[in-house]
Structures are given as C-alpha cells and as structure tokens.
Amino acid sequence: MAFYYVKSGGTATGDAGRYATQQTGSFAGLGSANYYNSLLDAIAATTPLAESDVVVCSDLHDYDNLNALIQYTYPDGAGVMVMSVSDTNIEAYSKGAKEQTNSSIESLGNVKYIGFTHDTGAVIEAGGNSNATYVDSELFLTTSSDAVAAITDGARIELIDCEINCANANNGIRASAAGTVVLRNTNITGVNINNLILQSYTNGGGVFHVEGCDLTNVTGTLNGDGGSQNFDDLIDVRIDMCTISNGVARSVALSNYNQNVLVTRCSDASAGHDYNFGYTGFSGNIDQSTTTYRNEDEAFTESSTQISYEVVSNTNCSKTTPIVFKFPILQYSKLSQTSSDVLTFFLTCDDTLTNDDIFIEVQYPDGTNKQVPNKVTSQNLNYFTPGTTLTTDGTSTWTGALTNNYLVALDTSSDPGADCQPIVTVTVTRPSTTINIASEYELS
C-alpha cells in the first residue's frame, strides 16, 4: 500500500508526492514540492496507483480544471481510497477536499471518495464497468444538464451519508446502459427539483436503490422517465424509508413489462411512515388505502392506522402481463412447523373474481428437508377451463367495502413446512379492475 499526497499549489512530479508509508505532521511540513497539485497529477505519478493505495488530500485542497473534462483512471479490483484529511494533522480525517470543473467528472476503475467535494457543470459519473463510491461527501450540480449518473456500460455509483446540492430544477440522478445508482442516507439539498430520476434507461436500462434519504426537495415525480417501448429497457427502482414531500408523484407511466417502481415506508409525516406502500408497473399500480380496509386487521403500531393494499390494473394487465407483487410480511404472519397451517387472505372488489383473475402463491421450506422449498397456490392450473369463482367471505366486515367480499384459503397440511416467514406472491391478471387486499392474512 502506497500513499499519494495532494493539495492545490503542490508542485510534485514523478513520484515526489508518493510515499511507501503513511506520513505524519502537516502539509506545510511536507512542503509543496512533496505533494501533488491535483488528483490528476497523483494519477500521473511515475509509479501508477495500484490496488489498495490511498490518495490523501488536504481539507484545504481546491482544484479547478475550468472547462475541461476531469477523467480519473483508477485501478480495477480492490481499487483505491481518496480521503480528505486535516491540513495541519495529516493523519486525521477532515472533510473538505474539493475538485471542480464546468465539464464532466468521470471516475474509471474502482474508487471510494471519503469527505470529498465534487462540483460539476455536467455530470458526475462512474465510467463503464467501474464503481465510484462517495462517503460523507458533497456533490454540487449547477446547470440544467447536471446529474449524478451511471450511464455507461455496467457503471455503478453509490453515495453514502452524502449531499447532492442542486442549483437547477432539472438536476437529478440518471442510469442507463445497465448502470446502477445507489443512495443511502443521502439528502437532496439546494433548490427544489422536478424529478429525482431523469433521462435514463436506454441501452440496457438502469437500476436505482434509494434508502433512508431526505427527498423533500423533489416536488414533482420520483421516477420522471417512463421510457419508450422501442428504446428503453430495464427500469428497476426501489425507494425505501425516505422522507418525501407532500404530493410528490411516484412515477410516470411505464412502457415495458420489465419496468417496476417500488416505494415503501416513505412519507412526509410521522404518521405514515410505517404503512406507506406504492408500486407502479407496466400493468398497473398498487397503493395503500386508508379508506378501504378489513376491520378485523391489526392497525399499524406507530400510526394506529388500518389499511388495505389497493391494486388498480390497467388495460395492459393480462395472463401474459399480470401485476405480480410480493405481499408485505407482517410480524403476525409467521408459519409454524405443523401439519395444519391454513393461510387465509381477504379481498373486496366490485367485479366477480375467479382464480384466473387473481391468485396467491405461498412458498416455504419443507418441514423435514428444510433446504427444499414447498409451494401451495390458488391458481387455476388448467388453462383450458374457466377459473372458479372465489369463495365468498361472509364473516369479515370492511370499512369502505366494494360489492363483493372474498377469501382465498391456502392449506399447507398436505406438505407441512418449517418455522419461517413465507414468500407470498400475489398475481392479478384481470385488466381494468380495482381489488383491495386486506393487509394481514390469518393463520389457523
């Protein structure tokens, strides 16, 4: 492991700013001839950066590449760390090192920036088949085209405990060409922006995982690009446990079946964080409903709110392109190792429903050979015969009930399972319908 020292104003060339061991003291003690002026100069050292090397930057470092592209080339494999430290105590972490340009900033290879600031007039991105991770860092976006991006082949960019400071309402994050953007405990600051996700998904699609972030500055739509059927590919958006603004939309309409947006436990108020659930797919939407719910269901503990999951299918929904979602598992829904587990699901709908229109599948480990999964399903498995009308539920009471109340009972007694949280998959094939599914299923 080698250490490369960087501070604006440095004059080191060759290996003059490279050390075999970590240095002590201050940058003043090193002397300007013994540290590099920029990350680009450190990368250009006679001995190139190798896996696990560390680039140490003064917290007073402030390098401006004006209008030129900044393209860092780091090693693959284990990559390198770029860390900001105290100018006067170069062994101590201190946030503040900065590099900027009016063009793009691209990181090739694998790198982790810690306590760093990047300021761009275009995009801050990971290059093709590269990974750039930022920790406790600030990324500044200024002009209308600016974004944090993974838009080249297989790129991945991750922000942990960071801040994306936006100066234009059209700033945001982008992913295409099978790129991935991950935000964890990262806040959107500066001016309000129209969309979090924009201009994405071509040439292989993109993936976004956003967790524990403050998104209140997003006032329009979380996923602002629904793609086109001919040019856009995978859309995989997962947003969980984030603060959002009141009235923000989840997603625009999507164009292909392999496109999904799932937003869970996100709210603008304390009362809604524990039950909020939203899904947008090619074939329809799912939302929590606080106006239609089964009275016998347990209220959510924090909010004392009862809900149902409201499935609204569109004209794309069919047996070929159904709405499919994993039923949220609650603490009361654990299977036991017994021969008599029956899972009963409850739903209400204005339409007459059959086990072709909606069916439920439960997967669980076998009671004896626990590595083997068992499955029970309510699906009509004979595609050449009409489905059977669902069983009427004459016992449950609903607030805001629709015309028909149904139940779906799945019995595991023929193939007992082990203690577990099961995987519950709900499939809706009926187009242009609304089905409210009780938030809990019963075990008996």
Looking at the structure, do residues 228 and 372 belong to the same domain, yes or no?
Answer: no
Looking at the structure, do residues 313 and 408 belong to the same domain, yes or no?
Answer: no
Looking at the structure, do residues 349 and 239 belong to the same domain, yes or no?
Answer: no
C-alpha to C-alpha distance for 5 and 248, rounded to whole angstroms: 45
Residues making up the chain, counted from first to last? 444
Angle, vertex CA 48, rays to CA 43 and CA 53, nearest 5: 85
The whole-number mean pLDDT for each consecutive block of 10 residues of the chain, a chain of 444 residues, reads: 98 99 98 98 98 98 96 96 99 98 96 97 95 98 93 97 98 96 98 94 93 98 87 89 96 95 93 89 97 95 92 98 89 60 95 98 88 94 94 97 97 83 94 97 88
Is residue 30 within a helix (H) or strand (E), and if so which, with residue range?
A: helix 27-30
Whether residue 332 lies inside any domain: the answer is no
Q: Is 41 helix (H, G, I), strand (E, B) or coil?
A: helix
Last residue of a domain, one of 320, 353, 368: 320
Q: How is residue 33 annotated by DSSP?
A: G
Looking at the structure, do residues 347 and 291 belong to the same domain, yes or no?
Answer: no
Looking at the structure, do residues 13 and 75 belong to the same domain, yes or no?
Answer: yes
C-alpha to C-alpha distance for 354 and 332, rounded to whole angstroms: 27
Q: What is the pLDDT of residue 418?
A: 79
Whether residue 434 lies inside any domain: the answer is yes
Placement of tokens 């680039």 in the chain: 55
* Cβ proximity of 41 and 96 under 8 Å: no
Looking at the structure, do residues 175 and 270 belong to the same domain, yes or no?
Answer: yes
Q: From the DSSP assignment, how many helices (H) and strands (E) are in the chain?
A: 2, 41
Q: Which residues have CB under 8 Å from 172's CB, separation 6+?
A: 147, 148, 166, 193, 194, 195, 196, 197, 198, 199, 224
DSSP 153-214: TT-EEEEES-EEEESSTT-EEEE-TTEEEEEES-EEEES-EEEEE-S--BTT-EEEEEES-E
C-alpha to C-alpha distance for 342 and 327, rounded to whole angstroms: 16
Looking at the structure, do residues 68 and 209 belong to the same domain, yes or no?
Answer: yes
Is residue 28 within a helix (H) or strand (E), and if so which, with residue range?
A: helix 27-30
Q: Output the CA torsion 424→429→432→436 (10° steps).
A: -20
Whether residue 347 lies inside any domain: the answer is yes
Whether residue 335 lies inside any domain: the answer is no
Task: Count CB-CB contacts under 10 A for residue 243.
Answer: 15
Last residue of a domain, one of 320, 354, 385: 320
C-alpha to C-alpha distance for 348 and 223, rounded to whole angstroms: 30
Supply 264's token pair.
């869970």
Q: What is the pLDDT of residue 337?
A: 63
318, β-bridge pairs = none
DSSP 280-314: EETTEEEEEESSSEETTSPPPTTT----EEEEEE-
Looking at the structure, do residues 284 and 387 belong to the same domain, yes or no?
Answer: no
* pTM for this model (two decimals): 0.94
Q: What is the pLDDT of residue 120?
A: 93
Looking at the structure, do residues 276 and 351 belong to the same domain, yes or no?
Answer: no
Supply 416's token pair.
């007992």
**Residues of the domain holding 435:** 342-443
C-alpha to C-alpha distance for 444 and 441, rounded to whole angstroms: 10
Looking at the structure, do residues 304 and 415 belong to the same domain, yes or no?
Answer: no
Backbone angles phi, psi at 27, to 5 degrees: -65, -35
Q: Is 43 helix (H, G, I), strand (E, B) or coil?
A: helix
- C-alpha distance from residue 216 to each of 129, 141, 190, 409 (Å): 32, 17, 11, 41
Q: Which residues have CB under 8 Å from 369's CB, separation 6+?
A: none
The upper half-sphere exposure of residue 444, i.e. CA atoms within 13 Å in the direction of its Cβ, equals: 7
Total count of domains within the chain? 2
106, β-bridge pairs = 71, 125
C-alpha to C-alpha distance for 433 and 212, rounded to whole angstroms: 33
DSSP 217-282: TEEEEEE-----TTTB--EEEEEES-EE-TT-EEEPPP-STTEEEEEES-BSSGGGTTT-EEEEET
Looking at the structure, do residues 303 and 352 belong to the same domain, yes or no?
Answer: no
